[in-house]
Structure 1
Amino acid sequence: MSVARNTLVQSSLTLASRILGMVRDILLIAKIGAGPIGDAWATAQQFPNLFRRIFAEGAFASAFVPTYARTLEAEGAEAARDVAQEALRVLFAATAALTIVAQIFMPWVLLLIHGGQADDPESYGLAVLLTRITMPYLTFMAIAALLSGVLNSAERFVLSAGVPTLLNLCLIPAAFVAPDAEGTALAAAMAYFVAGLLQAGALWWGVNRQKVRLSLIGWPRLTPAVKKVLKLAIPGTIAASGTQINIIVSQSLASFEVGAKSWLYAADRLYQLPLGLVGVAVGVAILPRLSRAARASDDGSSRQTMDEGIGLAMALTLPAAAALMIAPVFLIDAFFTRGEFLPSDAAMSGSALFHFAWGVPAFVLIKVLAPAFFAREDTKTPMRYALVSVVINTVLGAGLFFWMKSNGGAGFIGLAIATSVAAWMNTALLAMTLLARGWYTPGPRLVSGVVRAALATAIMSAAVWFMLQNLPEIRAELWDSRIASAAAIVFAGGVIYAFAALLTGAIRISDIRQALRR
Structure 2
Amino acid sequence: MSLARNTLVQATLTLGSRILGFARDMALAARFGQGPLMDVFATALMLPNLFRRLFAEGAFAQAFVPVYGGVREREGEEAATATASEALAFMAAVVVGFCIALQIAMPWIMPWLLSAYRDDDGIMRVAVIATQLAMPYLAFMTIASLLSGVLNTGGKFALTAGVPVLLNICTLVPLLAPLVWPEIDPTLTLLAVTVAVTVSGAAQAGLLWWGVRKLGIRLRLHLPRLTPAVKRALALAVPGALAGGAMQINSVVSQVLTGSDEGARSVLYNADRLYQLPLGLVGVAIGLALVPRLTRAFVSGDHEGGRRTLDDGLTLAMAFTLPAAMALLVIPFFIIDATVTRGAFTSEDAARTADALRQFAWGVPAFVLAKVLTPPFFAREDTRRPMIYAMSSVALNVTVGAGLFFILSARGQDGVLGLAAATSLAAWANVILLAGTLMRERAWRPSPAFVSRMARVIAASLGMGAVLFVAGLNYERLSALLLAKEAAVVAVCGVGALVYAVLVVLFRAASPAELKAALRREPGAAAPTGLD
Q: Judge same fold: TM > 0.5, yes or no.
A: yes
Equivalent residue, structure 2, for 1:66: 66
Given that 1:176 and 1:184 are in contact with CA atoms closer than 8 Å, whether structure 2 keeps it comes out as: no
Given that 1:362 and 1:427 are in contact with CA atoms closer than 8 Å, whether structure 2 keeps it comes out as: yes
- Superposed counterparts of 1:161-240, under 5 Å: 161-178=161-178, 179-216=184-221, 218-240=222-244
State how far apart, in whole Å, the 2-side matches of 1:62 and 1:110 are.
32
Equivalent residue, structure 1, for 2:36: 36
Equivalent residue, structure 2, for 1:389: 393
Aligned counterpart for 1:459 among listed residues 449, 463, 471: 463
Q: Determine helix, strand or coil for the equivalent of 2:223.
A: coil
State how far apart, in whole Å, the 2-side matches of 1:76 and 1:318 are.
42
2:337 aligned with 1:333, yes or no?
Answer: yes
Unaligned runs of 5+ in 1: none
Unaligned runs of 5+ in 2: 179-183, 522-532
- Whichever residue aligns with residue 508 of structure 1, its letter is S
Equivalent residue, structure 1, for 2:321: 317
Q: Determine helix, strand or coil for the equivalent of 2:316.
A: helix
State how far apart, in whole Å, the 2-side matches of 1:499 and 1:377 are.
41
State how far apart, in whole Å, the 2-side matches of 1:485 and 1:197 are.
39
Single out whichever of 36-45 and 120-129 deviates more from structure 2: 120-129
Given that 1:30 and 1:341 are in contact with CA atoms closer than 8 Å, whether structure 2 keeps it comes out as: yes
Equivalent residue, structure 1, for 2:90: 90
**1:93 to partner: Cα distance:** 0.5
Given that 2:338 and 2:485 are in contact with CA atoms closer than 8 Å, whether structure 1 keeps it comes out as: yes
Q: Determine helix, strand or coil for the equivalent of 1:18.
A: helix
How many residues were matched structurally? 516
- Whichever residue aligns with residue 388 of structure 2, its letter is R
- Superposed counterparts of 1:269-280, under 5 Å: 269-280=273-284
Given that 1:64 and 1:229 are in contact with CA atoms closer than 8 Å, whether structure 2 keeps it comes out as: yes
**1:174 to partner: Cα distance:** 1.4
- For residues 355-395 of structure 1, what are the alpha-carbon distances to aligned partners after superposition, in whole Å with 9 as ceiling and x for unaligned? 00000000000100011110110001010011111111101
**1:301 to partner: Cα distance:** 0.5
- For residues 272-318 of structure 1, what are the alpha-carbon distances to aligned partners after superposition, in whole Å with 9 as ceiling and x for unaligned? 11010011111011110111111122111110010000000111111
- For residues 52-73 of structure 1, what are the alpha-carbon distances to aligned partners after superposition, in whole Å with 9 as ceiling and x for unaligned? 1011011111111001001111
2:57 aligned with 1:57, yes or no?
Answer: yes
- Whichever residue aligns with residue 511 of structure 1, its letter is E
- For residues 445-471 of structure 1, what are the alpha-carbon distances to aligned partners after superposition, in whole Å with 9 as ceiling and x for unaligned? 111111000000011111112222333
State how far apart, in whole Å, the 2-side matches of 1:282 and 1:118 are.
42
**1:116 to partner: Cα distance:** 4.0
Equivalent residue, structure 2, for 1:6: 6
Q: Percent identity?
A: 51
Equivalent residue, structure 2, for 1:490: 493
State how far apart, in whole Å, the 1-side matches of 2:212 and 2:381 are.
24
Given that 1:71 and 1:79 are in contact with CA atoms closer than 8 Å, whether structure 2 keeps it comes out as: yes
2:513 aligned with 1:507, yes or no?
Answer: no
Given that 2:334 and 2:475 are in contact with CA atoms closer than 8 Å, whether structure 1 keeps it comes out as: no
Over 3 Å counting, the alpha-carbon distance change for 1:297 and 1:113 in structure 2 is farther
State how far apart, in whole Å, the 1-side matches of 2:475 and 2:348 are.
20
State how far apart, in whole Å, the 1-side matches of 2:3 and 2:185 are.
46
**TM-score, structure 1 normalization:** 0.98
Q: Determine helix, strand or coil for the equivalent of 1:258.
A: coil
- Whichever residue aligns with residue 445 of structure 2, its letter is T
**1:115 to partner: Cα distance:** 3.4
State how far apart, in whole Å, the 2-side matches of 1:133 and 1:32 are.
19
Given that 2:408 and 2:415 are in contact with CA atoms closer than 8 Å, whether structure 1 keeps it comes out as: yes
**1:398 to partner: Cα distance:** 0.6
- Whichever residue aligns with residue 402 of structure 1, its letter is F
Single out whichever of 428-437 and 110-119 deviates more from structure 2: 110-119
2:304 aligned with 1:300, yes or no?
Answer: yes
Given that 1:59 and 1:237 are in contact with CA atoms closer than 8 Å, whether structure 2 keeps it comes out as: yes
- For residues 433-489 of structure 1, what are the alpha-carbon distances to aligned partners after superposition, in whole Å with 9 as ceiling and x for unaligned? 11111211111111111100000001111111222233333222322x122211111
Given that 1:266 and 1:332 are in contact with CA atoms closer than 8 Å, whether structure 2 keeps it comes out as: no
Equivalent residue, structure 2, for 1:377: 381
**TM-score, structure 2 normalization:** 0.95
Equivalent residue, structure 1, for 2:519: 516
State how far apart, in whole Å, the 2-side matches of 1:96 and 1:516 are.
41
State how far apart, in whole Å, the 1-side matches of 2:17 and 2:300 are.
36
Q: Determine helix, strand or coil for the equivalent of 1:255.
A: helix
- Whichever residue aligns with residue 202 of structure 2, its letter is L
Given that 1:317 and 1:364 are in contact with CA atoms closer than 8 Å, whether structure 2 keeps it comes out as: yes
Equivalent residue, structure 2, for 1:264: 268
Given that 2:360 and 2:424 are in contact with CA atoms closer than 8 Å, whether structure 1 keeps it comes out as: yes
2:475 aligned with 1:471, yes or no?
Answer: yes
State how far apart, in whole Å, the 1-side matches of 2:293 and 2:322 are.
25
State how far apart, in whole Å, the 1-side matches of 2:111 and 2:447 are.
48
- Superposed counterparts of 1:73-84, under 5 Å: 73-84=73-84
State how far apart, in whole Å, the 2-side matches of 1:512 and 1:491 are.
20
State how far apart, in whole Å, the 2-side matches of 1:142 and 1:254 are.
28
Single out whichever of 423-432 and 174-183 deviates more from structure 2: 174-183
**1:333 to partner: Cα distance:** 1.0
Single out whichever of 386-395 and 481-490 deviates more from structure 2: 481-490
- Whichever residue aligns with residue 483 of structure 1, its letter is E
Single out whichever of 395-404 and 437-446 deviates more from structure 2: 437-446
Given that 1:36 and 1:123 are in contact with CA atoms closer than 8 Å, whether structure 2 keeps it comes out as: yes
**1:113 to partner: Cα distance:** 3.1
State how far apart, in whole Å, the 1-side matches of 2:41 and 2:60 are.
26
2:250 aligned with 1:246, yes or no?
Answer: yes
